[in-house]
A and B are shown apart, each in its own frame.
Chain A
Amino acid sequence: MQKEKSVRDLKVGESGTIWRLKDPEMGLKLLEMGCIPGTTVKLNSRAPLGDPITIIINDYTLSLRLDEAETILLKA
């Protein structure tokens, strides 16, 4: 099976559209923070050690860990 693309795979400055959220429990938290399927998400920056990252969604910035970003799958 081909690996699905997630927010984790974005480069800094690159954008993508949210397809679905992989982890149900984590997904609920992400939904509440505004990560709705269909929304555009942009990787804004990485912490100096590569993890966590910040993303821009709906004009505001969120910070999250890579293993959390991994659960946000993007449309191919």
Chain B
Amino acid sequence: MPEVLISPEEKRASQSAPQPRVPRIALIGNPNSGKTSLFNQLTGLNQKVGNFPGVTVDKKTGISQLTPNLKAQIIDLPGTYSLYPKSLDEKVIIDLIHNKRSEAYPDLIIVTADASNLKRNLLLFTQLADLGLPLVLALNMMDVAEEHGVQINVEQLQQDLGVPVIPMNARKGIGITALKILASQQLAGLNQPFYQIPEELLTLVRQIRYYFELKNDYLALHYAHQYKKLSFLADDDKSYIEDLLKENKFDSNTLQATETIERYTVINELLLDSVRVVKAETNEQFSNKLDKVLTHKVFGYLIFFAVLFLMFQAIFAWASYPMDLIDAGIGALNGFIHERVSGPLVDLLTEGIIAGLGGILIFIPQIAILFAFIAILEETGYMARVTFMMDKIMRKFGLSGKSVVPLISGAACAVPAIMSTRTIDNWKDRMITIFVTPLMSCSARIPIYTVIIALIIPEKYYFGFLNLQGIVLMGMYLLGFVAALLSAMALKFFLKTKERSFFIMEFPTYKMPRWKNVGLTIVEKVKAFVFQAGKVILAISVILWVLATYGPGNAMENAEKTATAEAQKLNLTEEETANKIASYKLESSYAGEFGHFIEPAIRPMGYDWKIGIALLTSFAAREVFVGTMATIYSVGAEEEEATIQQKLAMEKDENGEMFFNPARGFSLLLFYAFAMQCMSTIAVVYRETKGWKWPILQALYMTGLAYVSAWAAYSWLS
């Protein structure tokens, strides 16, 4: 490798060298080793969520005050069992610690280990130690270990491992101070490797080591194992390694397996001195008993559906109170501003920007409530049981056991539901879940469903209590559910992934939730939504407002004049005049132009340009459809649904027949059941998949499905 080459990163580093840099500490550990608790304890509310380059993994960082005059940046890495990554999430880790030139290369690594399960937790530790990285071992969950009768001789362990070991209980904050002080001392790594690289590999390993000027053999061995995954290596370097490996017949898989077995042998010997188990685990027994009920053939599902029902009820009903408050608050603020100032810029502020902000804030209660539930389910260990019970069923549809909660939440609102797919580790399962969740009928579809159903379905009762309109409404919900499952099944065949799906996971014992973690999850999710998806929502809502408010040339003034003149002729009241003006203005606006423009395209579904306008405006949110129809038919957007219905029922087509006949009605119902008429969902899919590819594909698919089924319904019924 030519030494003269200077990478851009290096240049930047040397330029900024004079300023003292905040030291970086990375947290690495097995899943469920209390890493998140430790991170929260170290950083409190000083957390930031960013992205790791190129992957859909959140990068959580925070600042911790280690000693009164030393601050450090803490980086929370995804939980992993080993340094040979099995998922994209875990790949982030090796990308970070194998690249010394990376801007985020850590100065110190804190390895969190579950003291009650030290053997498996030490595998990762010994790998990190052999890479020669400076380590501190945080022996977490000491209380659980004690309960299980595991006694750990920390002194002995510290001697055997050769790195500082701190017994702690991150949940309760015990041992945090000691850890901070130790970390601040910036301890160096150890010398004696745990795993001796076999003789026959040494030549190969040394070749790689000298070529890349690496610090030690084990790091070079890692280059050999995972050069393909190291995104910082140039193509030349990769092919150099590839050729070398071919020459030496390097069998990565077998070598990784033997290495892992070797490590366990060393760990077993090592722990012989320092860990003794004296009594059987009581918590495990308690968990097993609880599982007899909670994963029972009948009660298990009953309890799960009760939990789902409660969750659904909470997002659906309880969230409506704070949502109404936000709605009223935004209205009051706009009213307050309008009373004092006026003009086109003020309108942009109130109807465009503030209304757009309101459209973002309105989601916060639902997001907060859903994630409170999900965090509690995860924390207690119940989520693992849900996955366990539902996996077989969901797998038939290309989904995983973990897709159940997002799907059901989608029946309330797709936005928090899509955010909750984070719990699905497997990329393919997660993408499919995100893709189909918006097909579930969310609460924003209800106003459209009720208005249209009331128009086309007679109010009839069967057996005295079965309301026909109610049955159709329920049918719409079922339709969404079936469409979601079938789409998932179809997608299963199209989506290809190199990442293999593993279900195997630790089955945690039941625990009390850590409320601080629950709270921080809620804050983090709300922040992520407001600041990342919010930008897109705000931008689209301002654009939509401009389209509906301005028209080409002086079309708007003309519309107002014509409307006023006609109103005078007809002797209309002041309110009726205002409604007429609003209606004419909307027709002459760019949105109106758009309605006329797309009329040929939507005619096969039975729609005219008026519905075309509503299709455009309801892209902001489906329920806007009703308000827009009200404005177009000069009802006044704030009127009761019943008034709007009456007006719509009176509308005639060119033959003098009722315009909203069953054919058009069902066409509209199907269109709104399937179409991606929701910019917030698009924004949140963009944020969750970190790109435009998925939201665009999804919008195309859903709108296509909507168009075809609406067209089929209309042509069949008329």
Contacts and interface: CB of A to CB of B under 8 A. Distances in A.
Residue in A24, A32, A45 whose Cβ sees the most chain B Cβ within 10 Å: A32
Interface string A22-61: 0011111111111011000000110111111010001111
B81 A33 contact: yes
Given A48-B300, A54-B507, A25 B500 contact: yes
Contacts of A52: 388, 391-392, 503
B281 A59 contact: yes
Interface string B495-512: 000001011111111000
A21 B504 CA distance: 14
Interface string B118-145: 0110010000000000000000000000
Contacts of B264: 31, 34, 36
Interface in A2-27: 21, 24-27
Contacts of A75: none
A32 to B, nearest CB: 4
B260 A32 contact: yes
B256 A68 contact: no
Nearest to A48: B297
A47 B81 CA distance: 25
B253 A34 contact: no
B503 A31 contact: no
A30 B504 contact: yes
Contacts of B686: none
B91 to A, nearest CB: 15
B281 A62 contact: no
B216 interface: no
Contacts of A36: 260-261, 264
Nearest to B83: A32
Contacts of A24: 253-254, 257
B295 A47 contact: yes
Interface residues on B, range: 35 or more
B507 A29 contact: no
B139 to A, nearest CB: 17
A63 B81 contact: no
A48 to B, nearest CB: 4
B368 interface: no
A49 to B, nearest CB: 4
Contacts of B393: 49
Contacts of A68: 502-504
B514 interface: no
Tell me whether chain B's interface is mostly helix, strand or loop, or mixed: helix
B503 A64 contact: yes
A22 to B, nearest CB: 12
B700 interface: no
Contact of A44 (B86, B119, B288): B288
Interface string B241-267: 000000000000110110011001000
A59 B123 contact: no
Contact of B392 (A26, A28, A51): A51
A61 B506 contact: yes
B256 A28 contact: yes
Interface residues of A, number: 32
Interface string B277-295: 1000100100110010001
Contacts of B295: 45, 47-48
B222 to A, nearest CB: 15
A61 B284 contact: yes
A25 B87 CA distance: 13
B117 A59 contact: yes
A47 B388 CA distance: 6
Contacts of A47: 295, 388-389, 391-392
Contacts of A28: 84, 253, 256-257, 260
A2 B257 CA distance: 26
B277 A59 contact: yes
Contact of B389 (A25, A32, A48, A59): A48
Contacts of B300: 48
A66 B635 CA distance: 61
Nearest to A61: B507
A64 B506 CA distance: 9
B82 interface: yes
Contacts of A49: 389, 392-393
Nearest to B401: A52
A45 B297 CA distance: 12
A54 B505 CA distance: 10
B507 A62 contact: yes
Given A24-B254, A36-B264, A54-B388, A45 B291 contact: yes
Contacts of A54: 388, 507
B260 A31 contact: yes
A19 to B, nearest CB: 14
B301 A62 contact: no
B270 to A, nearest CB: 15
A12 B559 CA distance: 78
Contacts of B284: 59, 61
Contacts of B148: 59
Contacts of B391: 47, 51-52, 65
B522 interface: no
B377 to A, nearest CB: 16
B502 A31 contact: no
Nearest to A54: B507
Contacts of B502: 26, 29, 68
Nearest to B287: A61
A36 B384 CA distance: 24
B120 A34 contact: yes
Contacts of B603: none
B703 to A, nearest CB: 36
A54 B385 CA distance: 10
Interface of B: 81-82, 84, 86, 117, 119-120, 123, 148, 253-254, 256-257, 260-261, 264, 277, 281, 284, 287-288, 291, 295-297, 300-301, 384, 387-389, 391-393, 500, 502-509
Given A36-B261, A60-B120, A61-B284, 13 more contacts: A27-B257, A28-B257, A31-B260, A31-B261, A36-B264, A45-B295, A47-B295, A47-B388, A48-B297, A61-B507, A62-B505, A63-B384, A63-B503
Interface of A: 21, 24-34, 36-37, 44-45, 47-52, 54, 58-65, 68
8 contacts: A28-B257, A45-B288, A49-B389, A49-B393, A51-B391, A61-B287, A65-B391, A65-B503
7 nearest A-B residue pairs (beta carbon): A61-B507, A64-B504, A32-B82, A63-B507, A31-B260, A49-B392, A48-B297
